[in-house]
Structure 1
Amino acid sequence: MPMNVKSVVIYLAIALAGYVVVSIADSFAAPEISTRLKISKAKLIFTQDFVIRGNKSLPLYSRVVNAQSPKAVVIPTRGSGFSMKLRSGDLSWHDFLEGVNNLKGREFIAVERPVEAFTNILFSSGTTGDPKAIPWTNVTPLRAAVDAWCHSSIGKGDVMAWPTNLGWMMGPWLVYASFLNGASMALYDGSPLGSGFAKFVQDAKVTMLGVIPSLVRAWKSMNSTVGYDWSAIRSFSSTGETSSVDECLWLMGRANYKPVIEYCGGTEIGGAFIGGSLLQAQSLSAFSTPAMGCSLFILGDDGYPIPENVAGIGELGMPMWNGKVLRRHGDVFERTSRGYYHAHGRADDTMNLGGIKVSSVEIERICNGVDSSILETAAIGVPPLGGGPELLAVVVVFKNSKGTDLNQLMVSFNSALQKTLNPLFRVSRVVPLSALPRTATNKVMRRVLRKQLAQSNQVSKL
């Protein structure tokens, strides 16, 4: 479902009843929905009939049917009718609610569960191509609330808005970060790209607006915020992708140059490990501090932490324990001589596209089957010139050297990815190579390709 009032009520009701929420983003295609339902062994699915984005009607219930889901409760998008006949055994939202008429007048008491009990299962892409099921417990909401209080000073009287979805961690994060801190949550049911959302931010008197950099880029290119008063905003927060200095500065200009608090974490911890703070001087498109309660190190080429307060770049890691690094995060970070941190994208075989982490293997599996002339592919996330969210490049090795229309191949890649994996994914360029660089054990060295593409930033220079 999209993140609207009904989906938030359903989410909280499942948790209060002692059950476990399985979060699936409404942008996923049927095969991806099916995989997540099987992994989680979900018993019941709530879905909306369809969603309207701009002039498009995007199906949801039909995807659920194609995913061979368990019993579904279907919420009509308009009125009480549906765009297709419901399957046998599925319920309309109205009939589902009618089933509790005999309980009216009874006081509902939340079901008590142990602190370590699961409340939510979310998903993150793994490098094997299979999504990883990540459980949240009864403690995780506290982490979300603490981060909002500590890093964005959220409290009573604040109004938080963040265009997101309950299928991604920032959806449940927003629910808990606002309510547990006594703030209000502003939900916009529609596309956040246009001027309608800008007016909503104005009218709701939003005080903290969360963004992903690609959204800011769209606002800037379409000038969709012009004429609207965002003066109620005290701060922004940005996550999901690497931001750029120019876009940060433009965003601040919409609200009398209030700060942008960078926020980077993980689904598995329900919050950030690095962020900004209103108690420190901030630097554009940079992090200023480890998150409250976290320690982190930048690992050098030898795998050991670079000394504290020393500038350097490397993979982000957590503290040493009994001679072992507790966690290698997979992101490359730089610590500057001024003590700020900059994100430089993924170090492993996953990438971040439009705020969605996805493995190279998932994309390559689809691209390999697009054309019979393809021998193999490598999917690479490449940072653009000037910084900002990663762009998807596909390196292709052909079976023979005869000419292939790369533009048409890119169209085919996009069509297959958007139909099979996610309609938000888009290939920015296709790069032909005679062979992929490999290790002695025959593993594709995507890091080498990523470095070459980032350095050249032009296909002709590869």
Structure 2
Amino acid sequence: MASIDTLTVEELALTGISQTLALQVHQQLESIITHTCGSLAHTWQMICKEILLPSHPFSLHQLLYHSTYRNWDSANLGPPPAWMPSLETARATNIGQYLEKHGKELLGSAYKDPISSFNNFQAFSVENPKAYWAGLLEELAIRFHEEPECILATDNLDECPGGRWLPGASLNIAECCLRPHHARKDEAIALIWRDEGMDDTPLKTMTYGELRTKVSHVANALEIHGFSKGDAIAIDMPMTTWAVIIYLGIVVSGCVVVSIADSFAPREIETRLKISKAKGIFTQDIIVRGSKSLPLYIRVKEADAPRAIVLPGRGSDLTVDLREEDISWDEFMDKGLEKDRSGDYKAVPVSVDAFSNILFSSGTTGEPKAIPWTHLTPLKAAADAWAHHDIKAGDIVSWPTNLGWMMGPWLLYAALFNSASIALYNGSPVGLGFIKFVQDAKVTMLGLVPSLVKGWRRICNVFDYDWSSIRCFSSSGEASNEDDYLWLMGRANFKPVIEYCGGTEIGGAFVTGSMLQPQALSTFSTPTMGCRLFLLDAKDSPLPQDEPGIGEVALDPIFLGASRSLLNANHYDVYFKDMPCFDGLRLRRHGDEFQRTPGGFYRALGRVDDTMNLGGIKVSSVEIERICNTVHPSVLETAAIGVPEAGGGPEQLLIVVVLKDGCDVISNDLLKQKFNTAIQQKLNPLFKG
């Protein structure tokens, strides 16, 4: 491939553009190259601003990107930036405004401007956690019922390696993100949504005041129906407006949400209900996806679930007969509304260490780890959104997800704490309906998993939608592909992708990107605010912080939001046992292998244990092998392996099979069919092999 300064008009025309446009682009390139004086990063920045449009063939985007960086010195500079912040946009971010106001006070003479001082501020957040989090609590307008004794207590690190955050404080985290204040007005829009199949109809909306009223109704109804503070109540339904309201209603009443993905098979549902000791479950009769109706209540019933409150998936009437102990959504809400209360439900105050949500992550023993979020954990999600996704009042945030996975609760707190609107599409995000919804809702921050981008790129030969409202994307869940993400950025006039990697057990990320730093394709640019990460070599010694290298990720244990307990495992053994110490602190195990590149970027290289990402869902090989070992009498044993595609990106599942001696040979196609069917029936109906 030619370098950008030697591209010809003919080479440009081969991308599918007209000869006239090729000549125009060539002339623009000559002007840009003269103006940027050999700076490849600034050349690309100007190409994005002055030449490339979403309507141009992607082959033109590819040609100009790769030609620009053909002679980039990756060995010394690291990956080339696909996006760079301007000082003007950096100053308008949450962090930029905060630093312009407090930078001299916090960093002294080291403070210059938000871009050049960003790394200093990140280091400050780690070295001075009390000062950093005191400022963030004020920014997020946290309301305590009982004020904390201090921000952080580190008097007993042997027992609490991560320290004790906000000891003695009580609050209700759902109340905190719903109550009105200077940036969160009752008349502001909290929820925006549309149902699949209604893609040409007006969007539906709900204000913060309306949301708080409906949350109060749910909390009242829970009380009327006998649920009380501390009870675990599951949610197994799609991410609809009612799911959001139910989630917040459970938390505001002092109860605990049990998160179950709506795609799980009965066995997986039952496992989570038993581990959490759930006393009730909210679900739907069916899930509507296009013209299809997928059963949900039947799966919940087969899981021997406790008392169920069942919502209709379509219309206002249920399509199933309920068990004697179960009740319809209408009956549940009618009784709650009978209770005469004036004003909002009075949120139940609890200790910051009280559970608010029980989520699950794949374990290496086949049983999912039950990870409690406290009323403190959501502050990590809200703070990451404030600092790294730059979510603020007036933003519209969409992230196709489910309350069964951590990004569901993350989305609620990330948007509501920062006074933004949540945009929900009640349907499949893989089709054109969702793409149009992003346009119509004027989404400003779009979250996704890489598999979605691959699907959108496949169906959008020509991109006829306006995504110009997007200020940034965010990507989580699995490794991304550089080519796919170059395509994605081009759909929104080259807005940055904030890669975001963490885990259920930390309520957010440990490494991510920033609107104040250059962003390179499929890489992370910084540890999150308040977090310090280490890469361990083969002898479990931390590699030098400022040098390139590859190693297993370990975390400084002192950062707000990290888990302190597990329901079905020894937390210390899982995260701290046999880990090395650094500066007297025992490091926290995470389990990912990472590369730190020249230039200070990070790349995820996969798990060091047997966990894999399939379609953005973490699953243990043990879970898959347990199922595959029983699909046919000729199978002796199987090994499940996650294999990334060439060039990086989402993992594909490879099953290695050992047959019993003396058995007839089985065709690969038959085995593949049986494996797919068994995994769909016993693990996840959405699995596609």
TM-score strictly above 0.5: yes
Unaligned ranges ≥5, structure 1: 428-462
1:174 matched residue in structure 2: 411
State the SS of the aligned residue for 2:447.
Answer: strand
Structure 1 residue 328, shift from structure 2 partner: 2.1
Q: Is the 8 A contact 2:612 2:620 kept in 1?
A: yes
Structure 1 residue 317, shift from structure 2 partner: 1.1
Structure 1 residue 425, shift from structure 2 partner: 2.5
Distance 1:224 1:117 in 2: 50
Structure 1 residue 225, shift from structure 2 partner: 7.8
Q: Deviations over 1:92-150 (max 9, x none)?
A: 11010111233134332101111111010011110000011111111111111100010
Structure 1 residue 407, shift from structure 2 partner: 1.8
Q: Is 2:671 the counterpart of 1:409? A: yes
Structure 1 residue 224, shift from structure 2 partner: 8.0
Q: Which moved more, 1:77-86 or 1:3-12?
A: 77-86
Alignment root-mean-square deviation, CA: 1.4
Runs of 4 or more consecutive aligned structure 1 residues displaced over 6 Å after TM superposition:
none
Structure 1 residue 323, shift from structure 2 partner: 6.6
Kindly report which structure 2 residues correspond to 1:130-141, keeping only aligned pairs within 5 A, or say none. Answer: 130-141=367-378
Indicate how the Cα distance of structure 1 residues 152 and 49 shifts in structure 2: closer, same or farther if over 3 A, else same: same
Structure 1 residue 56, shift from structure 2 partner: 2.1
Distance 1:383 1:349 in 2: 14
2:680 matched residue in structure 1: 418
Distance 1:224 1:417 in 2: 32
1:441 matched residue in structure 2: none
For normalisation by structure 1, the TM-score amounts to 0.90
Kindly report which structure 2 residues correspond to 1:46-445, keeping only aligned pairs within 5 A, or say none. Answer: 46-107=282-343, 108-223=345-460, 226-319=463-556, 320-321=581-582, 325-400=586-661, 402-427=664-689
Which residue, out of 9, 13, 34, partners 2:270?
34
Structure with the larger helix share: 2
Q: Deviations over 1:10-49 (max 9, x none)?
A: 0000000010010101010010000000000100100011
Indicate how the Cα distance of structure 1 residues 412 and 325 shifts in structure 2: closer, same or farther if over 3 A, else same: farther
Structure 1 residue 300, shift from structure 2 partner: 1.2
Q: Deviations over 1:129-182 (max 9, x none)?
A: 001111111111111110001001111111100000011000000000001011
Q: Deviations over 1:200-234 (max 9, x none)?
A: 11111100000100000000011188211100000
2:260 matched residue in structure 1: 24
Q: Which moved more, 1:395-404 or 1:197-206?
A: 395-404
Indicate how the Cα distance of structure 1 residues 224 and 24 shifts in structure 2: closer, same or farther if over 3 A, else same: farther
Structure 1 residue 80, shift from structure 2 partner: 3.1
Distance 1:23 1:403 in 2: 42
Q: Is the 8 A contact 1:345 1:390 kept in 2?
A: no
Distance 1:175 1:79 in 2: 25
Q: Is the 8 A contact 1:345 1:383 kept in 2?
A: no
Amino acid at match of 1:99: K
Distance 1:298 1:44 in 2: 43
2:159 matched residue in structure 1: none
Q: Deviations over 1:265-286 (max 9, x none)?
A: 1101111000001111111110
1:439 matched residue in structure 2: none
State the SS of the aligned residue for 1:11.
Answer: helix
Distance 1:157 1:235 in 2: 14
Distance 2:381 2:584 in 1: 30
Q: Is the 8 A contact 1:22 1:120 kept in 2?
A: yes
Q: Is the 8 A contact 1:334 1:342 kept in 2?
A: yes
Amino acid at match of 1:375: L
Q: Which moved more, 1:323-332 or 1:21-30?
A: 323-332
Q: Is the 8 A contact 1:375 1:399 kept in 2?
A: yes
Structure 1 residue 81, shift from structure 2 partner: 2.4
Unaligned ranges ≥5, structure 2: 1-236, 557-580
Structure 1 residue 331, shift from structure 2 partner: 1.1
Q: Is the 8 A contact 2:288 2:314 kept in 1?
A: no
Number of aligned residues: 427
State the SS of the aligned residue for 1:268.
Answer: helix
Q: Deviations over 1:347-373 (max 9, x none)?
A: 111111111111111100100001111
Q: Which moved more, 1:315-324 or 1:156-165?
A: 315-324
Distance 2:586 2:650 in 1: 28
Amino acid at match of 1:82: L
State the SS of the aligned residue for 1:77.
Answer: coil
Structure 1 residue 329, shift from structure 2 partner: 1.4
Structure 1 residue 377, shift from structure 2 partner: 0.9
Aligned-pair identity (%): 62
Structure 1 residue 325, shift from structure 2 partner: 4.8
Structure 1 residue 322, shift from structure 2 partner: 7.0
Distance 1:307 1:225 in 2: 47
Amino acid at match of 1:352: N
State the SS of the aligned residue for 2:401.
Answer: coil
State the SS of the aligned residue for 1:188.
Answer: strand
Q: Is the 8 A contact 2:477 2:616 kept in 1?
A: yes
State the SS of the aligned residue for 2:600.
Answer: coil
State the SS of the aligned residue for 1:187.
Answer: strand
Distance 2:683 2:455 in 1: 23
Q: Which moved more, 1:24-33 or 1:333-342?
A: 333-342
Distance 1:114 1:324 in 2: 26
Distance 1:38 1:172 in 2: 21
- Give the structure with higher Rg (CA): 2
Q: Is the 8 A contact 1:299 1:314 kept in 2?
A: yes
Q: Is 2:264 the counterpart of 1:2? A: no
For normalisation by structure 2, the TM-score amounts to 0.61
Structure 1 residue 332, shift from structure 2 partner: 1.2
Structure 1 residue 403, shift from structure 2 partner: 2.8
State the SS of the aligned residue for 1:338.
Answer: helix
Q: Which moved more, 1:418-427 or 1:257-266?
A: 418-427
Q: Is the 8 A contact 1:212 1:241 kept in 2?
A: yes
Structure 1 residue 299, shift from structure 2 partner: 1.2
Amino acid at match of 2:648: G
Higher relative contact order (CA 8 A, sep 6+): 2
Distance 2:413 2:387 in 1: 14
Q: Is the 8 A contact 1:121 1:133 kept in 2?
A: yes
Q: Which moved more, 1:6-15 or 1:334-343?
A: 334-343
